[in-house]
Amino acid sequence: MSEDSAGTSLAQGLICPAPHVPDDRVQLGHGSGGKLSAALLRERFLPHLGNETLAELDDGATVPVAPHRLVISTDTFVVSPLEYPGGNIGSLSVHGTLNDVSMMGAEPRYLTAGFVLEEGLPFAVLDRVTAAMAEAARAASVPVIAGDTKVVERGKADGLYLCTTGVGELSDGFRPAAHRARPGDAVLVSGPIGRHGIAVMAAREGLRFEVEVTSDAATLHPLVRTLRDRVGRAVHTLRDPTRGGVASALNEIAVAAGVGIVLEDNAFPIPEPVAAACAVLGLDPLYVANEGIFVAFVEAAVADDAVDALKRHPLGAGAARVGTTVAEHPGLVVLKTGFGGSRVVDMLPGDQLPRIC
C-alpha cells in the first residue's frame, strides 16, 4: 500500500514524491483527517459556510438554547442528479431538514452537515453544492454549526451524499403533530404540487418540457409562522409531502390520527407543466415529491382564515383547501372523482421515483 509507506516515511521526517493527482478534484486523502482534510475544510467549506461557531473547528459545536423543549430531525440526501433546475443537493439538504423541524412547530435554530464525497468529484461541483447550502442556510437565518466529511473510493458513491441534522426550539403551546388531526378538520395544501419530483426526474432523464419545471424547494418556517400567527392552535397537523408525495403524507397522517380523509378531485393546485409531464410519463402528481409546500390540518372554522393567511405570503400564494377529515374509514384516504364515485389513494408499495431527495 503506497499510502502506508509514504505515511511512515513522512512521519519520520523524510520527504518522498507524492503520486500525481489532479488538484481540481476530491482525493481519497481529503478524508484522512490529515493536512488534506484540513485544506478541504479551509478552502472548500469554511469560505461558504463559515461562522463563529463552525470556525472554532472543534469536534462539535457549543450553542445556547432557551430552556425549552428541542426538536431534532435528521435527513439523508442522495438525490440524483446532484443539480437540477431550482436547486441542488446542498440547498435541498437545508430545506428538507429545516422543514421537518418547522412541521413540528419549532423555530429552526441550528444545522449540522455530514458529507460523503466520492473520490474524483470535481471541486467545481462541490463548491456549487456548498454555496447553495450556505445560501439556503443564510436565507433561513440558520447557521451550519458543525460538520464532518469522509471520502470513499471512486465508484463507491455517486458524487456525494449529504446528511443534515436540524435543531429547533419549541417556544409555546404550538405543537402540530400527525396524531392530532381530528374528524372535521379542513385539509389544506400551501401551494402547487409535484414540482420537485418532476424537476429532478427531468434533469435525470434529460427530458425537456415546453415550460421548464423548477423544484419548489424552499424553507417553510416563515410560512408556518404566518399560519401560526393567524390561527394558532387551530393548526392540528403540518407535514411536508416529500418523497411519496401528498398521497403518502396524507396516508401517514390518516393512520397516525385514526381518521379518514376525503379529497376533492381537481382541488389540488397542479402547475400546467407538471400536469403535462405527469400525463406524458404516466405519473400521478399525488405521488410526486415536493420540497416547498406543506399539508395542514386545521379546524374547519378557521379554514378560510388559514387559506387567506397562506395566500398573503409569497410561499403560500397557491394555497388551497383540498379536502376534509372524517370519522369514517379511519386510516384511509379517498379521492372523490368527477363522476360521483371515489377511489382509494393508497400508499405506494415502493418507489415511483427513486433518489428524488
CB of 210 to a copy of itself, least distance (A): 21
CB of 249 to a copy of itself, least distance (A): 9
Give the orientation angle of helix 195-205 with respect to helix 272-281, to 10 degrees: 50
Return the C-alpha cell found at 222.
416563515
CB of 5 to a copy of itself, least distance (A): 6
Q: Which of 158, 265, 299, 308 binds a copy of itself (CB under 8 A)?
A: 158
Is-contact 194 278, C-beta < 8 A? yes
The residues in 256-275 that bind a copy of itself, with binding defined as CB under 8 A, are 256
Is-contact 92 104, C-beta < 8 A? no
Name which of 290 and 302 has its Cβ closer to a copy of itself: 290
Comparing CA positions, the residue from 219, 195, 158 lying closest to residue 84 is 195
Alpha-carbon dihedral of residues 8, 11, 16, 21, nearest 10 degrees? Answer: 80
Rg over alpha carbons for the chain, rounded to the nearest Å, is: 23
Is-contact 253 244, C-beta < 8 A? no
Q: Which of 43, 153, 212, 272 binds a copy of itself (CB under 8 A)?
A: 153
Establish if 302 lies at the interface with a copy of itself (CB under 8 A): no
Name which of 161 and 297 has its Cβ closer to a copy of itself: 161
Residues 243-279: b if buried by 16+ CB within 10 A, e if exposed: bbbbbbbbbbbbbbbebbbbbbeeebbbbebbbbbbe
Comparing CA positions, the residue from 164, 90, 100, 101 lying closest to residue 132 is 90
Establish if 75 lies at the interface with a copy of itself (CB under 8 A): yes
User: Strand, helix or coil at 81?
Assistant: coil
Q: Which of 42, 55, 60, 258 binds a copy of itself (CB under 8 A)?
A: 60
Q: Which of 104, 193, 224, 309 binds a copy of itself (CB under 8 A)?
A: 104
Kindly report whether the peptide bond that precedes residue 17 is cis, defined as omega within 30 degrees of 0. no
Taking CB under 8 A as the binding criterion, the range among 58-66, 124-132, 182-190, 309-317 that sits at the site for a copy of itself is: 58-66
- Report the C-alpha gap between 228 and 173 in whole angstroms: 11
Name which of 145 and 303 has its Cβ closer to a copy of itself: 145
Strand partners, 290: none
Q: Which of 54, 137, 167, 213 binds a copy of itself (CB under 8 A)?
A: 167
Establish if 17 lies at the interface with a copy of itself (CB under 8 A): no
- Report the C-alpha gap between 354 and 244 in whole angstroms: 10
CB of 183 to a copy of itself, least distance (A): 21
Q: Which of 25, 45, 48, 77 binds a copy of itself (CB under 8 A)?
A: 77
Mention every residue, 6+ apart, whose C-beta is less than 8 A from residue 62: 53
Name which of 66 and 301 has its Cβ closer to a copy of itself: 66
Establish if 349 lies at the interface with a copy of itself (CB under 8 A): yes
The residues in 199-258 that bind a copy of itself, with binding defined as CB under 8 A, are 239-240, 242-244, 247-248, 256
Q: Which of 131, 139, 281, 326 binds a copy of itself (CB under 8 A)?
A: 281
The residues in 130-149 that bind a copy of itself, with binding defined as CB under 8 A, are 145-149
Is-contact 200 79, C-beta < 8 A? yes
DSSP symbols for 212-227: ---------HHHHHHH
CB of 37 to a copy of itself, least distance (A): 8
Taking CB under 8 A as the binding criterion, the range among 29-37, 219-227, 263-271, 297-305 that sits at the site for a copy of itself is: 29-37
Q: Which of 42, 55, 58, 280 binds a copy of itself (CB under 8 A)?
A: 58
Establish if 78 lies at the interface with a copy of itself (CB under 8 A): yes
Name which of 165 and 214 has its Cβ closer to a copy of itself: 165
Burial class (CB in 10 A: 0-12, 13-18, 19+), 14: exposed
Taking CB under 8 A as the binding criterion, the range among 135-143, 168-176, 258-266, 311-319 that sits at the site for a copy of itself is: 168-176
